[in-house]
Amino acid sequence: MSEKRQDYSNDDGHENEWYAVTRWHVDDIKRFRPEWSDDFCATVLSTMENTFQELLIERGNDILDCMIEGSEKTWLEEWGYLNETEETN
């Protein structure tokens, strides 16, 4: 299903700022439909790809917003940004 964060370098050798990159494999479909052939699972993934990407972005944005909303003050305090923000205001 999803994989842990990897370092992706662009052409000039700098790390891209991509996080939570998700890739799907035939085995992910087979977890739900083990009786389906690998070829059929690949066809399903290929056919669903665009819609899948749109849904992942939409739901991912909802999850990200919820996570930030629920943890923002704690993060700011723990990482020392809250004091910097208060000093500049």
pTM of the model: 0.57
Query: What is the rounded CA–CA span in Å between residue 45 and residue 63?
Result: 23
Per-residue model confidence as pLDDT tens digits over 47-58:
999 999 999 999
Give every CB contact of residue 8 below 8 A, 6+ residues apart in sequence: 15, 16, 18, 21
CA separation for the pair 57, 55 (Å, rounded): 5
Interval 73-82 mean pLDDT: 83
Where in the chain are the domains? 26-88
Which tens digit of pLDDT belongs to each residue from 4-24?
Answer: 445 555 566 667 788 888 899
41 vs 26: CA distance, rounded Å: 5
